[in-house]
Amino acid sequence: PDPRFAKRMQERLDSLAKPKGSLGRLEEMAVRLAGITASTQPEMVHKRVVVFCGDHGVTEEGVSAYPSEVTGWMMETFARGQAAINVLARQAGAEVKVVDVGSKADRVPKGVVNVRVRPGTANMARGPAMSRAEAEQALAVGWKQAETAKEQGVQLLAAGEMGIGNTTAAAAVAAVLTQRDATTLTGMGTGLGDQGVRRKAAVILQSLRINQPDSSDPMDVLAKVGGLEIAAMAGFMLGAAFYRIPVVIDGLISSVAALAAVHMAPQVREILFASHLSVEPAHGIVLEKLGLTPLLDAEMRLGEGSGAVLAFPLMDAALRLSQEMALLSELGIHSQS
Amino acid sequence: PDPRFAKRMQERLDSLAKPKGSLGRLEEMAVRLAGITASTQPEMVHKRVVVFCGDHGVTEEGVSAYPSEVTGWMMETFARGQAAINVLARQAGAEVKVVDVGSKADRVPKGVVNVRVRPGTANMARGPAMSRAEAEQALAVGWKQAETAKEQGVQLLAAGEMGIGNTTAAAAVAAVLTQRDATTLTGMGTGLGDQGVRRKAAVILQSLRINQPDSSDPMDVLAKVGGLEIAAMAGFMLGAAFYRIPVVIDGLISSVAALAAVHMAPQVREILFASHLSVEPAHGIVLEKLGLTPLLDAEMRLGEGSGAVLAFPLMDAALRLSQEMALLSELGIHSQS
């Protein structure tokens, strides 16, 4: 980001008809957007959420409340515009783009980008989820989506995902990258009970033991205990950083992808915005590692980019305030303190 | 609220193409809105934020970073559509209505409703802020705004305020109604430093000592250590409860008004929605007393209803999700757990 534009935006905000700093984190957003876009009047009109879809072999271990088939059914629902993310994106004035980077669905619905690297990962509880080459290929799929967004003039991105079993993979990656105990990072996902969560934690521990991912090598971690959609989101964020497009992250899975991307290139952090805090116990820990604070606390746990898109109007608000408010100098107001 | 419609909304939400409960507090909002409006398809198209303005005699004690004149200047800015609340309301598709219930401004700008009860309160550090009759009159001004909203078909309200010195009054009212020590409830307001905050706390303690407000009589509390805009907001919420219009509360001051209203009539709580958590230390305590949890944590401290209006798109989102998403039964998805 360009600090000159960030500074000019802060000066602009300080000159508006309000107490200094009183718009809190909306001001911080406007300042960061100015820096990223190298503009004192950033435009975030063309918005897009990209939903990366992938399946997980580890579902064989009974770690999810839903079968893998749901990933394909949800892709159909995305394509028909009837999933939660479609509704939320319509409201936020954003496009939805769905990318099948690794589902096991029999067919890829019309309207879904078919760039499948492989039909789901292997069961990480028995061996690596995928090869390093496959993880790199998935990463490239994500980068390509950032490049396409740049070519098409997209100004604001959100990263979403769909993949039955992916909170298991995300918790495993989080455990390696944050060096925390996997048990404390394991959550209910789409709706496990206590017993299911315990089983899931045991499966994650086993996956880590068998695969011994190298915490200093994020690509190794993504390949061994990650997922195709997680690697793709990491590549998407790397690409967005390269093309200077801000990306709003969603819940645990996109946040773990962000952490992997930041481990590969620390500059990625500069274009990331947190949206909400999900109920997954690992989410807050991963966001803290990223140095990002969520704006929303709505106890959501849906994925698809749903929480990220809910933050779009807040970013619009931050920018509109910076552009449309009266100046203090027009009012003759001065603080006494 | 009508529990039959709340129940039907929950059933509808449980039938949508998502894991049960995964939309978290958006679901809770939709359920509550269904109960309040006695409809399974609540409409929140016609939205309005009412900004109640009043001045505070206690500013004589040096409790604010800005002089009382700012209240009048901000009313001019509201009338010109150039304040933060105007920008945010435009973005949220809401009207702004500004009501002068007690400013000291020399003139009331065109477009601002002039129903001034008195030109600012008296200095509560020397005696009661106003008489009980004046507090009741201010309460009636607020109720009238709820009635007008009902007549005009407004479906969603937010309560905002403008009044230099009003975090001092709000903290005093909060101290009485929550039975907490005033010192811990005193914050920076529009921008006091540490020394200013200590002075402000001392002034609040003196006001409470001199006036001895009766904690079992909210009207007595509002009259002795409250404010005209605070009493008006309490009346506004009482009226909105009577007419079954949901009200989104904003920061500390509107939340304190809500607490006073709930002390007068516990049913008021049913129509209230929290929006954000401000940086004022008393805010979280007052919201907890109200049993409400904020959705946004943006470290704002502006007032005007700004945080409340930021929650409008979240409520729109909750309702649209309930109406536009595919049903699980259309997909043939069933949970395994």
CATH number of the domain to which B252 belongs: 3.40.50.10210
Cβ-defined contact of B191 to A295 (cutoff 8 Å): no
pLDDT of residue B337: 46
Cβ-defined contact of A299 to B91 (cutoff 8 Å): no
From chain B residues 228-247, the ones with a CB under 8 A of any chain A CB are none
Q: With respect to residue A337, please indicate whether it lies within any of the assigned structural domains.
A: no
From chain B residues 257-286, the ones with a CB under 8 A of any chain A CB are 279
Give B32→chain A minimum CA distance, Å: 15
Cα(A36)–Cα(A27) distance, integer angstroms: 14
From chain B residues 285-314, the ones with a CB under 8 A of any chain A CB are 293-302, 306, 310, 313-314
Domain count for chain B, please give it. 2
Are B53 and B12 part of one and the same domain?
no
Instruction: Say if residue B334's pLDDT is above 90.
Output: no
Are B160 and B214 part of one and the same domain?
yes
Cβ-defined contact of B325 to A87 (cutoff 8 Å): yes
Q: Which residues of A are catalytic?
A: 304
Q: With respect to residue B337, please indicate whether it lies within any of the assigned structural domains.
A: no
The model's pLDDT over B217-264, given as tens digits with 9 standing for 90+, comes to 999 999 999 999 999 999 999 999 999 999 999 999 999 999 999 999
From chain A residues 133-192, the ones with a CB under 8 A of any chain B CB are 190-192
**Chain A contact for B107 (CB, 8 A cutoff):** no
Cβ-defined contact of B66 to A25 (cutoff 8 Å): no
Cβ-defined contact of B326 to A82 (cutoff 8 Å): yes
B48-64 mean pLDDT: 97
Give B68→chain A minimum CA distance, Å: 11
Instruction: Say if residue B71's pLDDT is above 90.
Output: yes
Are B179 and B153 part of one and the same domain?
yes
Q: With respect to residue B234, please indicate whether it lies within any of the assigned structural domains.
A: yes
The 3-class SS string of A107-131 reads CCCCCEEECCCCCCCCCCCCCCCCC
For A73, which of B19, B297, B333 is closest by C-beta distance? B333
Are B21 and B118 part of one and the same domain?
no
pLDDT along chain A (337 residues), means of 10: 96 96 97 97 97 98 93 96 98 98 97 98 98 98 98 98 97 98 94 95 98 98 98 98 98 98 98 97 98 97 97 98 94 59
Q: With respect to residue B280, please indicate whether it lies within any of the assigned structural domains.
A: yes
The model's pLDDT over B148-183, given as tens digits with 9 standing for 90+, comes to 999 999 999 999 999 999 999 999 999 999 999 999
From chain B residues 11-30, the ones with a CB under 8 A of any chain A CB are 16-26
Q: With respect to residue B154, please indicate whether it lies within any of the assigned structural domains.
A: yes
Are A26 and A116 part of one and the same domain?
no
- List the domain range (segments joined by +) for residue A10: 3-42+321-331
Are B51 and B34 part of one and the same domain?
no
For the question of residue B304 being annotated catalytic, the response is: yes
Q: With respect to residue B336, please indicate whether it lies within any of the assigned structural domains.
A: no
pLDDT of residue B117: 98
Q: With respect to residue A219, please indicate whether it lies within any of the assigned structural domains.
A: yes
For A17, which of B83, B192, B295 is closest by C-beta distance? B83
The torsion angles phi and psi of B244, rounded to 5 degrees, stand at 55, 45
Q: Which of A208, A131, A155, A169 is nearest to A52 (CA)?
A: A169
Mutate: best of B25, B161, B296, partner A, most A CBs <10 A = B296
Are B20 and B144 part of one and the same domain?
no
Token code pair at residue B129:
């802020």
Give A64→chain B minimum CA distance, Å: 8
Chain A contacts of B87, Cβ < 8 Å? Answer: 317, 320-321, 324-325
For A336, which of B66, B77, B337 is closest by C-beta distance? B66
Beta-carbon contacts of B334 under 8 Å, excluding residues fewer than 6 positions away, are: B328
Are A107 and A29 part of one and the same domain?
no
Cβ-defined contact of B73 to A298 (cutoff 8 Å): no
pLDDT of residue A335: 56
Chain B contacts of A313, Cβ < 8 Å? Answer: 91-92, 310, 313
Q: What is the ipTM of this complex?
A: 0.95
**Chain A contact for B333 (CB, 8 A cutoff):** yes
pLDDT of residue A226: 98
Are B111 and B16 part of one and the same domain?
no
Relative to beta strand B47-54, strand B156-162 is: parallel
pLDDT of residue A331: 77
pLDDT of residue A298: 96
Query: Taking the alpha carbons of B296, B302, B306, B308 in that order, is the dihedral positive or negative?
Result: positive
Q: With respect to residue B276, please indicate whether it lies within any of the assigned structural domains.
A: yes
Burial A133-153 (b: 16+ CB within 10 A, else e): ebbbbbbbbbbbbbeebbeee
Are A134 and A225 part of one and the same domain?
yes
Are A31 and A156 part of one and the same domain?
no
Q: How confident is the model at residue B335 (pLDDT cuts 50, 70, 90)?
A: low
Give A122→chain B minimum CA distance, Å: 21
pLDDT of residue B19: 94
From chain A residues 38-67, the ones with a CB under 8 A of any chain B CB are 64-67
Which of the residues B27, B134, B280, B304 is marked catalytic? B304
Cα(A108)–Cα(A73) distance, integer angstroms: 10
**Chain A contact for B198 (CB, 8 A cutoff):** no
Are B203 and B63 part of one and the same domain?
yes
The model's pLDDT over B89-129, given as tens digits with 9 standing for 90+, comes to 999 999 999 999 999 999 999 999 999 999 999 999 999 99
* Bridge partner residues of B247 (DSSP): B157, B272
Q: What is the CATH number of the domain that holds B325?
A: 1.10.1610.10
